Structures are given as C-alpha cells and as structure tokens.
Amino acid sequence: MKSLVPILILSCLLCINRQVSVAGVNDIGSWKAGVARVAITPDGPMWMAGYANRDHAAEGKLQELWAKALVLQDGNGKQCVLITLDVCGIPKDLSDRIRDQLKIKNNLSRAQVNINCSHTHSGPVIQNALSFIYPLDDEQAEKVKRYTAKLETQIITLVGNAFKSLVPVDVFTENGLARFQVNRRNNNEPYLLLQKELRGPNDYAVPVIKVADKSGNILAIAFGYACHNTVLNGYQWSGDYAGFAQTELEKMYPDATALFFQGAGADQNPLPRRTVPLAKQYGKELAYAVEKVLSEPMLKQSPNLAMAYTEVQLPLNAPPSREELETMVKNSVPYKQQSVSYILNKMKKGEKLISSYPYPVLVWKLGDQLVVALGGEVVVHYSIEIKKMFGPQTFVMGYSNDVMAYIPSVTILRESNDKTDGYAFYDPVNKASIAYEGGLDTQMLFGLPATWASSIETVIFSGVQNTAKKAGVSLMEYK
C-alpha cells in the first residue's frame, strides 16, 4: 500500500500540471478598442455627389460630415479597423492608397481593414468616383482633387488616433429591426401611398456592435441598415438619415461614438422622401431601433478575431460595338454622353477594354459574430442569400473598400437585358422606368465598358464561401 503513495502523488502532480498547461493555452486577454473621428465637411462650395440633375455646387451645411474609425484588438493581439465615411462612395485607387499606407504605418493587411461608405447623396464628389455625371469645370475639378487628397490624409491620421486610444473593453452584437426601406424596383414611388402592400425583397435587419469599457460605459456603437441615403436631394451637406441617426444616438449616449455602416441596400430607398423632417424621422427610427437593441441582452463575444480578404474577378460581357456606342452618344443625355464617349475614345485609340474587375470580399469573425463586407452597390438579394448560407444573425455590409458599380442579381440583369419595365426603378428626374441597377448606361457611368456577365452571383457567392473558409468559418457552422 505504501508503495502506491509516490505513484498516486506523481499522478496527481501530472494531472495538475496538465490542467495548468491547458489553462495557459486558453488564457487570453480581453478585447481592447479605440475609437476616433474627424470632420470631413468641405471648407467651401464644392460639387455634391450622387445626383446627375444638380446644376451648381453646395450652398451650406445641414450637418457635419464625419469619418470615424473603430479599432478592435482581440485577446491574442490580432487587430482590425472599421472606417466609416459620410460619402457617396470611394473608388479603387483611393481605397488602395489608404490601405497601402495603413499597411506601412499600422501593419494592417487588406483583411484587417474595412472602409465603408454611408452612400449619402449629400456629400462631396470624390475624384474618380462616378466622375462622368458631374459637369465639373477646371476649378471644380481642382477642388475635388484637393479634397480627395486631404480626405486620404485625414483617414490615415484618424486610424492612428484610434490606435492611441486602445482600452480594455467587452464587445456585444445583436440584430434589431427597422422598416422604412422600400424596394424601389418593385414599388412605383409616385404612387406609393395608393398601394395596399409593398412588394419585392427586403432586409429590415439593423446589425449592432456595442463596445463597452469594463465599467459598462458604452464607448462605441457601430450599426447598419440596408437602404439608400437618398432622403435629401438639396444643396446642403448632410449625412442624410444615417447622419441624423448617429447624432441621435450620441445624444442618448454622450460618451459614445456612433458609426453607421451601409448594408446591401442598392435597390432599397427610404420612401416617402425629399424633406428634412423625413430624414430626421428615419434617423430617429433607426436610432431607436439601435437603442432597443442596446437596452436588451446582447450576445457577448469572446475576444477572438479571424479575418480573410479576397479579390475575385467579376466577368464582364462583351462591350457594345463601335457603331452601337456612336448611336448611344447621339441619343443620350449630356452626362451619359460623357461616359459613353469615354469608352468610345478608348476603342478608337485601340486600347484594350477590361473583361473583368477585381471585386473585394472581406470576412471577419468577431468572436462568434460573422461579418461579410462586399464592394460596390450591392442589391439586397446578396444579403438574403448570404444569411441563408451562414445564418440570419450574419452582418452583411455593402459599399465596402471599393464602390465600382452596382452589383445586381441575375434576375435584375435579366430584366435589364430584356429591357422590361415591370420591375425597373422609376426615375422621377426623367419621369420614366429604367432598368437601372443592371443596365449598360449605369455601368458606363462608373467607367465600365459593359454589363456584368450572368455568372456574377456564382462568382461572388463562391468568393464569399472561400473567404469565409479562410477565416475558419464553414457553412454548417451557422445553420
């Protein structure tokens, strides 16, 4: 019996040592977060982005425009940064320069950076973003160039400031609900009040990320919605409904920074619209939807980050012939003539037109919260399908890292190619139904020579699944 004592002691010591070793592997630190903001409202009158029917520069400011950054660091030191901008969109060249500098200055890879645009149509024109629709003279073009260069510098400094403010935090996520988005392809805006029901696909989710310090004080609220920021079409700088929502939340939580990210709302409009009171109303609706989420139990996420980034090649159809382009130039309105002429001149010079486009797909996993961020003006179909793949709690962002064009579904492409009006977007400016999100005219406004190929959905969904796999996420994990 005595001979067994040393063996039992040794066995207990080995067991204790094993427990300590396992605990040591799993013993990671807490989340850390830092947040910063900078005003990006132009100093003087500049041309405004988003609408082709504006005929002069901005006249003043309804709201401040902001760039905001939220840095998250997990318990193992992995970091990511969400940058939100009150602008209509950013082009690939600006996004690439910003992310290249963040790699140099902050050692952030493409997978660690998400630049999301609110898509307000009451912000400034950005160089090389939808340039063809604005009648810029040399003076205005120079202002746009200077503003874009300044914005680039401001964003780099902004992220640096967010890193300087890192503190231990807890991170929580949950989805809320708001219902002022209306599918603009399936509901005719002028007759909306006469309709007995709304038609078309929607995603009413309001994704919310709450960042609170260890005393429970909320430091940052990142929230989203899938809906165009197009309540307003005047001549005053404004973040539109998303700007009012951020202001309202910061009134409710004075110590917090509210960051809005745009979802897959390319075919969703806030309707009715066109007045400041309506923009404020929708802003308050969204803010109170977020406040409801913050007031109830949220999912506390473990301090683990996983991230992956891919650029998939989206194929384009063959461009129109030279003769077809020449006909389009003759029959188009002035701003469309510019875009068609751009492609036609390339063809005349013998330049090779692109046949595909490098499309950005970003996947983050914040604890158990999956975030999928896609480039371009993504229609709601993609959000619906991605949530079928990974679960309804998935956060889906559009307008991220490069706003190169609309990203239509195959159905929208087919409607555009068939030139059918039954499911087309009603354009109140031209007083006509047009095959907008998938049409050739729209593609050319972005500088692309042709429409997307019918394989667009297959390529994007495959890209999302493969990128998620790189981040350690499987389809079955979220079903």
| One domain for residues 218 and 346 | no
Whether residue 14 is contained in a domain is answered as no
Which of residues 14 and 162 earns the better pLDDT score? Answer: 162
Looking at the fold, whether 171 and 207 belong to one and the same domain comes out as yes
Q: Is the pLDDT of residue 477 over 80?
A: no
Binned at pLDDT 50, 70 and 90, residue 161 comes out as very high
Q: Which has more pLDDT, 129 or 8? A: 129
* For the chain, percent of residues with pLDDT exceeding 90: 80
Task: Give domain status of residue 285, yes or no.
Answer: yes
Q: Is residue 455 part of a domain?
A: no
The more confident residue out of 314 and 14 is 314
**So what's the pLDDT on residue 416?**
76
d(Cα 406, Cα 435) in Å, to the nearest integer? 12
352 lies in the same domain as 276: no
Closest CA to 405 of 373, 354, 362, 359: 359
| Cα–Cα distance measured from residue 457 to residue 468, given in angstroms and rounded to the nearest whole number | 16
The pLDDT score that the predictor gives to residue 331 is 82
Q: Is residue 191 very low, low, confident or very high in pLDDT (cuts 50, 70, 90)?
A: confident
The reply to whether 217 falls in a domain is yes
How would residue 192 be classed by pLDDT, with cut points 50, 70 and 90?
Answer: confident
Residue of 366, 435, 358, 394 whose CA lies nearest to 263: 394
Regarding pTM above 0.95, the answer is no
Looking at the structure of the chain, the number of domains it has is 2
Q: What is the pLDDT, as a whole number, of residue 418?
A: 59
Residue 9 CB neighbours (<10 A): 10
Cβ atoms of 260 and 223 within 8 Å: the answer is yes
Q: Look at residue 433 and tell me whether its pLDDT is greater than 80.
A: no
Count CA atoms closer than 13 A to 418's CA, side-chain side: 11
- Residue 409 CA, chain-centre distance (Å), reads 17
Q: pLDDT tens for residues 435-463?
A: 579 889 899 999 999 999 999 999 999 99
Nearest in space to 355 (alpha carbons), one of 405, 319, 404 = 319
Residues 268 and 336 in one domain: no
Domain co-membership, 234 together with 326: no
Give the mean model confidence (pLDDT) for residues 104-121. 98
Is the predicted pLDDT of residue 382 greater than 60, yes or no?
yes
Residues 6+ apart with CB under 8 A from 447: 131, 132, 339, 342
Specify whether 109 is located in the same domain as 212: yes
Say if residue 246 is exposed, middle or buried (CB neighbours under 10 Å; 0-12, 13-18, 19+).
Answer: buried
Q: Which residue has the tokens 């898509």?
A: 119
Question: What is the mean pLDDT of the segment spanning 19-38?
Answer: 67
Q: What is the pLDDT of residues 399-419, one digit of tens each?
A: 999 999 999 999 999 887 755
For residue 474, is pLDDT > 90?
no
Establish if 140 belongs to a structural domain.
Answer: yes
Instruction: Please give the average per-residue pLDDT across 74-92, as a whole number.
Output: 98
- Interval 289-301 mean pLDDT: 98
Q: Is residue 373 in a domain?
A: yes
Q: How confident is the model at residue 332 (pLDDT cuts 50, 70, 90)?
A: confident
Segment 278-307 shows an average pLDDT of 98
Q: Look at 62-66, 93-97, 134-138 and tell me which has the smallest mean pLDDT.
A: 134-138
- The residue with greater pLDDT, 199 or 394, is 394
Query: Is residue 463 one of the residues assigned to a domain?
Result: no
Q: Which residues are within 8 A (CB) of 419 and not within 5 positions of it... i.e. 6 or more apart? A: 435
Give the pLDDT band (50/70/90) at residue 12: very low
Inter-CA distances, 211 with 108, 417, 459, Å: 21, 46, 34
Verify that 233 and 266 share a domain, yes or no. yes
Q: Do 377 and 344 have their domain in common?
A: no
Taking 90 as the threshold, does the pLDDT of residue 20 lie above it?
no
Phi and psi based region of residue 372 (left: phi greater than 0; alpha: psi -120 to 50; beta: remaining): beta
| AA letter at 156 | I
283 closest CA partner among 155, 146, 153, 122 = 122
Residue 347 lies in domain: 311-357+409-445
Residue 4 lies in a domain: no
pLDDT tens sequence across 198-227: 888 999 999 999 999 999 999 999 999 999
Kindly report which listed range (26-30, 163-167, 283-287) carries the lowest average pLDDT score: 26-30
Q: Does 221 share its domain with 333?
A: no
